[in-house]
A and B are shown apart, each in its own frame.
Chain A
Amino acid sequence: MTKGPTLIASNTVGSGTPTNITFSSIPQTYTDLLVKVSLRGTQTPNHYLGWHMDINSSTSNFTNLYLQGGGSGTPGSGSSAQYMGAIPGGGGTANTFSNSEIYIPNYTSSNYKSFSVDSTGEGNETLAFANFIAGLWSNTAAITSLTIYPDYNSGVGIAQYSTFTLYGISNS
């Protein structure tokens, strides 16, 4: 029987517009990790931006397969390393944030680390994105840190009131 989710840490961004947020020194005492993300980027005039995740500060050996719906268009699919979906940008509907979740099973194991993502842009616009992503980090190291960030360009970053929450889940 699973136990949790148990809150490990949470942060709501203040007025500084940082470019990324990192959960470091993640305890190795759980079985799985769950991350809840409410995220908005500041880059303009973009209505939407991509967002990304590094594991243990690594930006390599990621394989992300996405299934993406956008507005009334035909859903698309493909592969894009570290792509985690689309979030509202600085040109998007005011006061809207993405609603996303990352699930990482067996994050302390010595196998490659798989994860799943569901992410919606939440913009009240004709074009809005919803993504389902199957991700793999081909690395055997236990996960000790996660870094999340929107598209980076010319000093823009994460909007105020974006919120990140990390939970642990145990299988016994």
Chain B
Amino acid sequence: MADTPQAIEVNCETGVVTTRDLTADEIAAQAVAAQAAADQKAAAEAEAAKVAADKAAAQAKLAALGLTADEIAALSK
């Protein structure tokens, strides 16, 4: 790809498609949006990991009480 980030513009009125270099403001704005998305994704993954860990801990405690694997599985059906 080109050294300078580029953008495609589709003019809906004329049908003309042009490719141009991004402005500095556009590059900065996209970096901000990317960081926001990365933060949101990290939060979602942390939440999923916590839920998985809590589930495994709960199953271990139930097994320690004497429940069989089938009985533990039945609790979540």
Contacts and interface: CB of A to CB of B under 8 A. Distances in A.
- Interface magnitude class on chain B: 35 or more
Interface string B1-28: 1110111111111110101001000110
Given A17-B1, A52-B33, A151-B37, A23 B13 contact: no
A107 B6 CA distance: 27
Highest count of chain A CB atoms <10 Å: which of B3, B8, B44, B48: B8
Interface in B26-77: 26-27, 29-34, 36-38, 40-41, 43-45, 47-48, 51-52
Interface of A: 8-11, 13, 16-27, 48-50, 52, 54, 59, 68, 70-71, 73-74, 76, 78, 80-83, 86, 147, 149, 151-153, 155, 157, 164, 166
28 contacts: A9-B15, A11-B8, A19-B27, A20-B22, A20-B30, A21-B9, A22-B8, A22-B10, A25-B12, A25-B14, A50-B34, A52-B37, A59-B29, A70-B45, A74-B47, A76-B47, A82-B33, A83-B36, A83-B40, A149-B30, A149-B33, A151-B30, A151-B33, A152-B33, A153-B34, A155-B1, A155-B3, A166-B12
